[in-house]
């Protein structure tokens, strides 16, 4: 099979060099014509670089953060060209003249992530003609580079941890080892299966998916462009679901070769001996526990005085205790000032803490400092769409409607609550309103799941938020150490905490840190959403022996005392 060099051809406005912003594929991946492999950015513009080959990537020659010149070889792909080049001079001109088409739709959705694809399916089921424009992969960040891949790796780490502690269960496991390449392959297999499932659902519901970069020309027109196609969509309504991108830390050295993002962290087949994670939020702490269980010496440098600051202090303290037990070193209240390099290229973090400068070194640095809404090149100004007051996301009302009536925005691009399940629900709300079904978003009962070890889940008001609001509250807590099912798993760490508003006698908040926390939170979300009292949970029979019994005991604790703990 012929080997083809994929090069960086002409840049916008005749630029000479560009920075590799993102690498979407890896060695061994199969590609189709029009698949985007690289995103590059120069001082004069940005472009997605797609292949015109049907085949397999033999070698990736560059990494995210690299600066490359025009005509540099980016990758080697074995396969056959499906589009022959002409004598043009620009990147898109270098291909056969793009095929042009004009389509019409009731709803055009820009972005096929958990907000976009859910909205598309819901709209199609209600009878709308739907087109989805997606520049990368269906499923978005959540499915391809976030929620699902990380949880696949978390599960592998849990299995490894169980093998290491087999003796506690009377079992004998010797010569325990792991193959990181097989772990990554398993993760990729799960992602591929789910993406394939979404593609099937798109086809089943007759939703047309256009691979390309979407741009709003006017409130009734969306233009989508790829290397081989230009599509003009005349549409009655538009839903913007472009998501977010990893925030970039504005410190010197952030582009050093041994500094990676969460996307790259999901592809590591050769683990470093020592890793520094900048950011102790949800993403940072999930990776910290994950790689610590694979034997990596992990340090977390967090700007705030505590990690996972959205949680209550008792949950934060329990999580910090669990981190210490895994050998994770936490540097809280630490401001990163620079990322230096040793003579052999290893990174050194310079941070300020308590007025003093500190240095720690590692083999690899992972930057996990949050995400920012993606609106670049979308054309929101031309469409009359306003941003939020902080200018960090698209402004919407409770119906998910922007300041342009027939354009809606959902998910991370609105900069409300950046969670996949929130984006999905916002998509349903937006579609309902488009289709004449009155619907509004209610953020009072949004569960959050943090996949540390053990898990953390929260919903409703935290204790500190309830106190800040001046509410008269009652709290009930119950430890996992008194739950029979948890003990059979060898998992006694953690607790549940329920919060009741004394004035209304309704549950207003809950926190769980412990075994199955992220699954158990659904019952409490239902309770808070429907204004239930602790008595409603107490009067509900919970199966024995299950971890769900901690919810029953927590409700009892709110109302005077748990049965199985004094």
DSSP tag of 11: P
Q: How far is CA 243 from CA 223, 334, 412, 418, 422, in A?
A: 18, 29, 5, 9, 12
**pLDDT at position 512 over 90:** yes
Backbone φ, ψ for residue 278 (5° rounding): -90, 110
Please, what is the end-to-end C-alpha distance for the chain in angstroms? Answer: 72
- Could you confirm whether 544 is annotated as catalytic? yes
CA distance 403 to 163: 55
**pLDDT at position 83 over 90:** no
Half-sphere exposure of residue 430: CA atoms within 13 angstroms, side-chain side: 34
Q: What is the pLDDT of residues 170-224, one digit of tens each?
A: 999 999 999 999 999 999 999 999 999 999 999 999 999 999 999 999 999 999 9
DSSP per-residue codes, 298-315: EEEE-SSSSSSTTS-HHH
Q: Residue 306: count other Cβ atoms within 10 Å of its Cβ.
A: 16
Q: Quote the mean pLDDT of the chain.
A: 92
Q: How far is CA 129 from CA 266, 431, 435, 514, in A?
A: 36, 12, 11, 45
* CB burial of residue 223 (10 Å; 0-12, 13-18, 19+): middle
pLDDT more than 70, % of the chain:
95
Distance of CA 489 to the CA centre of its chain: 29
CA distance 4 to 215: 31
pLDDT reported for residue 81: 72
CA distance 259 to 241: 29
Closest CA to 314 of 499, 505, 551: 499
Per the listing, tokens 């599509």 go with: 231
Please pick, among 13, 229, 544, 552, the residue that the annotation labels catalytic.
Answer: 544
Q: What is the pLDDT of residues 384-430, one digit of tens each?
A: 999 998 888 999 999 999 999 999 999 999 999 999 999 999 999 99
Q: Residue 167: count other Cβ atoms within 10 Å of its Cβ.
A: 9
DSSP-H helix ranges across 210-356: 262-265, 282-293, 313-325
Written as six digits, the tokens of 364 are 């690899």
DSSP per-residue codes, 425-453: HHHHHHHHHHTT-------TT--EEE-SS
512 and 456 in contact (C-beta within 8 Å)?
yes
What is the pTM for the complete model shown?
0.83
Q: What is the pLDDT of residues 264-319, one digit of tens each?
A: 999 999 999 999 999 999 999 999 999 999 999 999 999 999 999 999 999 999 99
Q: What is the pLDDT of residues 110-164, one digit of tens each?
A: 999 999 999 999 999 999 999 999 999 999 999 999 999 999 999 999 999 999 9
**Total number of residues shown for the chain:** 566
Residue ranges of domains in the chain, CATH in brackets: 3-81 (2.40.50.100), 98-245+371-443 (3.50.50.60), 259-369 (3.50.50.60), 448-558 (3.30.390.30)
Q: What is the 3 state secondary structure string of 278-292?
A: ECCCHHHHHHHHHHH
Helices (H), strands (E): how many in the chain? Answer: 13, 30
């Amino acid at each position: 099979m012929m080997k083809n060099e994929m090069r960086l051809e002409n840049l916008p406005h005749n630029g000479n060099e560009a920075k590799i912003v993102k690498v979407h594929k890896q060695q061994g991946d199969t590609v189709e014509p029009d698949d985007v492999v690289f995103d590059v950015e120069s001082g004069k513009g940005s472009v997605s670089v797609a292949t015109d080959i049907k085949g397999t990537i033999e070698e990736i020659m560059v990494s995210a953060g690299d600066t490359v010149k025009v005509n540099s070889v980016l990758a080697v792909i074995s396969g056959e060209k499906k589009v022959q080049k002409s004598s043009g001079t620009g990147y898109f001109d270098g291909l056969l003249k793009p095929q042009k088409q004009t389509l019409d739709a009731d709803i055009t959705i820009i972005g096929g992530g958990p907000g976009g694809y859910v909205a598309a399916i819901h709209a199609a089921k209600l009878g709308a003609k739907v087109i989805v424009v997606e520049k990368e992969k269906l499923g978005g960040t959540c499915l391809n580079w976030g929620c699902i891949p990380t949880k696949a790796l978390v599960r592998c780490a849990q299995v490894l941890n169980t093998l290491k502690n087999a003796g506690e269960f009377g079992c004998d496991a010797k010569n325990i080892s792991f193959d990181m390449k097989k772990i990554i392959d398993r993760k990729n297999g799960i992602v591929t299966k789910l993406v394939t499932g979404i593609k099937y659902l798109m086809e089943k519901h007759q939703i047309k998916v256009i691979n390309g970069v979407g741009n709003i020309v006017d409130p009734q027109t969306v233009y989508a462009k790829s290397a081989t196609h230009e599509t003009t969509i005349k549409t009655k309504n538009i839903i913007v679901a472009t998501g977010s991108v990893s925030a970039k830390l504005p410190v010197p050295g952030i582009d050093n070769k041994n500094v990676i993002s969460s996307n790259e962290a999901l592809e590591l087949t050769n683990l470093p001996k020592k890793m520094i994670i900048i950011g102790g939020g949800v993403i940072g702490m999930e990776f910290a526990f994950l790689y610590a269980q694979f034997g990596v010496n992990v340090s977390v440098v967090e700007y705030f005085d505590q990690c996972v600051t959205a949680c209550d202090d008792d949950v934060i303290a329990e999580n910090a205790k669990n981190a210490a037990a895994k050998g994770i070193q936490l540097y809280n209240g630490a401001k990163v000032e620079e990322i230096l390099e040793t003579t052999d290229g290893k990174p050194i973090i310079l941070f300020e803490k308590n007025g003093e400068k500190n240095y720690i070194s590692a083999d690899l640095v992972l930057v996990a400092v949050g995400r920012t809404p993606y609106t670049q090149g979308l054309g929101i100004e031309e469409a009359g769409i306003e941003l939020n007051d902080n200018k960090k996301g698209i402004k919407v009302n409770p119906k998910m409607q922007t300041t342009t009536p027939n354009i809606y925005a959902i998910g991370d691009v609105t900069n409300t609550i950046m969670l996949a399940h929130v984006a999905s629900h916002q998509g349903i709300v937006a579609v309902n309103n488009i289709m004449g079904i009155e619907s509004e978003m209610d953020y009072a009962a949004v569960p959050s799941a943090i996949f540390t070890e053990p898990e953390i889940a929260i919903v409703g008001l935290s204790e500190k938020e309830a106190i800040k609001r001046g509410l008269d509250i009652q709290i009930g807590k119950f430890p996992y150490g008194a739950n029979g099912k948890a003990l059979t798993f060898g998992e006694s760490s953690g607790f549940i905490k329920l919060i009741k508003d004394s004035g209304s006698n309704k549950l207003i908040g809950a926190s769980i840190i412990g075994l199955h926390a992220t699954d158990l939170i659904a019952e409490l979300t239902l309770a808070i959403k429907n204004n239930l009292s602790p008595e409603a949970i107490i009067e509900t029979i919970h199966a024995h022996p299950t971890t769900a019994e901690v919810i029953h005991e927590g409700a009892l604790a709110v109302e005077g005392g748990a049965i199985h703990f004094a």
